[in-house]
Structure 1
């Protein structure tokens, strides 16, 4: 599949006249708990030629495959590909966008070219906002807890839609850094040995074995933990006061340097 993904990326470059700077896996495979039929969620950052940016008209800054603009080669049904144009990615980076941070630190990288992503990683410590990221993970946990874990019967996979953002929030509370993307790293660091951790580990084994859609009675020890920590993180985040210097000029310079590096223009 890696070769297929890399071939699809090359075709995207041809069909959209762009250069892909970085491509990685996002979602359950990157988080470390894919099931047998999990999609490949490929996310990438790309840059257009100079003239694309020198226009008075607003243009679409996302490439999605399958998309309205079909590309020359067929895409596998299990392959979900989506990319952000570089200036869009940098604007989101400036806002400390958690999904973008997850891309940058994915353990599964399909492609990296030029220096833009390394420069972004070097700036991350000065841009990371624990407040923004905590609110992102907290809102995700709240919504998924409300939507998926309130019934008497629960699908196994739905626990992870709440568990991972809660543990990511606990990591931010503990370290004030970008949380690791791998679910197991969060579990090992945040949860002490005991009944709760054993229940989660057992659930993870079952999910990866393909039982993720099974409906079964709600697991109270997990529900109670998630509810308690959501309440705690909601109170905690309101007390954080964290300001960062405006990184706009550094990001503007990174953007211009990338155009020059990729397309040879000044």
Structure 2
């Protein structure tokens, strides 16, 4: 599949007149609990030629391969692939966007070109906002807990959809830093040995075996633990007030530097025109 993904990346660059800077896995495969038939959730960042940015009109800043954006080669049905234009990504980076921070930490990287991502990684702790990230993960955990695990029967996968953001929020509480993307690392660091940890290990094993579609009786011990943790984290989130400095000037420089690095000839031509 990696070769196919790289082929699609190369074709996107040709068809859309862009350069892709980075592409990684972002879903259950990156979290460490894929099923046998899990999709490949590939996310990427890209940059247009300098002239694209010289317009008074706002243009579309995403490419979604399976949502109608043309790519002139057949796409594997298991491939879910979409990307953000660099200025969009940097505006979200400035806001400490948790999905983007996860992409930068992904251990499954399909493509990495130029120095942009390395520079973003150097800045990520500076732009990290525990307030916005805590609220993101806690909101996700609460919503999934409310919507998916309150009934008498629950799918295996749904418990993990609550546990992953919940443990990410607990990591922020404990370490005041960006949580790791791998679920197992969160479990080992934050869940003490005992019945709850054993239950999580059982859920992981069943998810990886492809049992995530099965419906079973609700596991009350897990539900009780989840409810208590959510209550605790809600109280903690209210106490968070940390402010971060505005990184806009550094991100502007990063963007301009990327234009020069990627499109050297076009950038020089643009400078002569000015």
Structure-2 residue corresponding to 1:137: 137
**Distance in 2 of aligned mates of 1:70 and 1:262:** 23
1:109-138 deviation digits (Å, cap 9, x = unpaired): 000000110000000111000010000000
Alignment length (residue pairs): 266
Structure-1 residue corresponding to 2:271: none
2:209 counterpart SS class: helix
Structure-1 residue corresponding to 2:228: 228
**Distance in 2 of aligned mates of 1:160 and 1:256:** 40
Query: Does structure 1 retain, via aligned residues, the 8 Å contact 2:43–2:83?
Result: yes
User: CA shift at 1:240, angstroms?
Assistant: 1.0
1:117 counterpart SS class: helix
**Distance in 1 of aligned mates of 2:10 and 2:105:** 22
Structure-1 residue corresponding to 2:70: 70
Q: Provide structure 2 residue ranges, at least 5 long, that are not aligned to the other structure.
A: 269-274
1:58-93 deviation digits (Å, cap 9, x = unpaired): 100000012323210011100000100000000000
Matches within 5 A, 1:1-266: 1-264=1-264, 265=267
Query: Does structure 1 retain, via aligned residues, the 8 Å contact 2:90–2:251?
Result: yes
Which moves more between the two structures, 20-29 or 217-226? 217-226
2:239 counterpart SS class: coil
User: CA shift at 1:26, angstroms?
Assistant: 0.4
1:184-212 deviation digits (Å, cap 9, x = unpaired): 00000000111110011011101100110
Under a length normalisation based on structure 1, what TM-score does the superposition of the two structures give? Answer: 0.99
In angstroms, what is the RMSD of aligned CA positions?
A: 0.7
**Distance in 2 of aligned mates of 1:186 and 1:220:** 22
**Distance in 1 of aligned mates of 2:190 and 2:215:** 27
Query: Does structure 1 retain, via aligned residues, the 8 Å contact 2:160–2:203?
Result: no
1:66 counterpart SS class: helix
2:51 counterpart SS class: helix
**Distance in 1 of aligned mates of 2:66 and 2:212:** 26
